[in-house]
Structure 1
Amino acid sequence: MALSMRAKGTVYCRTPGSKEFSSAGYLKATRWLRDEAWYDIHPYSLAVWPHRCADIVRHGNWWFQRSNYTCIALELQVEGETVYESDGRREVLHPGELYVTLPGNDVCFENGPSKFGRQHQLVISGGMVKLLVESLGMTGCRKVVFGRPGELEELRGRFARIAELLAARRREEAAENSQLGYAIILGLAEKYSFSVGTDLPPVLTRAVWAMESDRGCHQSVSRLAADLGTSRATLTRMFRNFLGISPQAYWNKLRMESAVQLVRAGQLSFKEIAEQLGFRNSLYFSTVFHRYTGLTPTAFRARGLEETAGEMSSSPRH
């Protein structure tokens, strides 16, 4: 997708394939009333991890552009307006409306006519977010308008609670932070599927959530179906109809994506990773990993270290 051309500003590299650009005066136009962040809390960062929650005010003329974004950014307009452009569409975000930037998106946003805007921003990262978004059929989700009573208040409450958790940084509360991230994404997925006329079965979203929570595949698909109050055949049919994949294949993909993240992180030995993800031994794990990535775990970890060393560290708080 080609975004509108912008005058040269500042370039920030998130990863080798992801960049962000801003107008020369962006930082001067931006004030953070609150900015809470908590990064890479293993193992929650491998799944869904809300890592930044901010209250941002912007004045004057400015623009900011994301290219091949790596996370999920949720921006809730509180005051004023912000203009977004993505997929050839320009949309004005008004108070009480939410804009969603998903992994892989190219999005540009800028000041509105009043040249003033205030937003609550939540950034969700993790090795599983892209797969989760694709599985839930959210790839087209952008602007979200809340109409049902209590919807907006519930979202604001979750944002506020996540901000508290990020500020406190208590490891015993890390699981709650991850679960709140899941709840927000699943709620948006259900709302989006309703808006585009796709009746995503609630049992399917619960199954996806359960699989995300058990990436080691420690129980069978039949047992999962029973826990969800349905049959294996019905669950399999829903997965194939809506996600185009079998439950077991989806679970295996989650497990391998987790393996990729754990190997890249370098915090655990290959034996520990194999045990955590339910492989019978490290040799079998290495064989499956090589089949999935084309590299042995050792070679993959070495390549990841080289890429990390080559990345630029400077980046705005956005």
Structure 2
Amino acid sequence: MKPAPFDYCRPATVAEAVEALNGAESGRVLAGGQSLIPAMNFRLTDVSLLVDIGQVADLPGVDTEVTGVTVGAAATQSRVLNDDAAARVVPGLRAALRHVGHLQIRNRGTVCGSIAHADPAAELPALAVATGAVIGITGPDGHRAMAASDFFLGPFWTALEDADVVTAVRFPAAPAGSVTSVDEISRRAGDFAVAGLVAVIDVDGGAVRSARLVGFGVGGAPTRLAFAEAAIEGWAADHPDRGLMEAAVEDTADAFDDIHATAWYRREAVATLLVRAAGRALANGEAS
């Protein structure tokens, strides 16, 4: 299929991009285009103006410090995946990006684009919530920063206004002593997750001290597993799995049915992934 007719512009600055979006009836930002272009071809989204930010000079790339990693809107997923310094500071970035699509998709797709697209089955939005990332947004009223936990509102729905551009995402450094894992179940390698889990687990003395757990592919937005976070505190390898699994099932009570999996399957999948993540964290904690 072909997209409906649309206008196209390629601004040179973020300010020009915002101005173009502000004057459009239904403008959309084009970064990597790996999700937007197929949606346009299937006419699943209405676009009157496509604003290509590929040549915007004042967008940041990847900035790694001991306190965290800032990924700019120009940075492709492959660029971040292959950045060893970024992986040392925020291990979850590499762990998540390994699951994203295929090489060709990662070579074009951007981290910020995936965040802005807000697919509920995508890994990067869940990672942003699990790590406490902060999203940098520029709009007609200037620049603002928003916590990832406030950014995702529903399926493909965020707190962005019509003329806003996501310019960067700041991922805080992983806490000392923590283990970050990103695991999922999909029908085929590279497919979107039927169910997935991002876990940032802090281990001390052979037991879990605390955790941030976020499910994806099970609801309309990244799902914080509050009951499971409480249940996992103090958990050790010789403890039974049942309490963790029951808590995860309770957290994912709003899981949905579709052609790929039932809600029951999704809940059980997240529970299984949680036990797997806890065991991995404890094993890595003992090894270190």
Flag whether TM exceeds 0.5 (same fold).
Answer: no
Greater relative CO, 1 or 2 (CA 8 Å, sep 6+)? 1
TM-score in terms of structure 1 length: 0.27
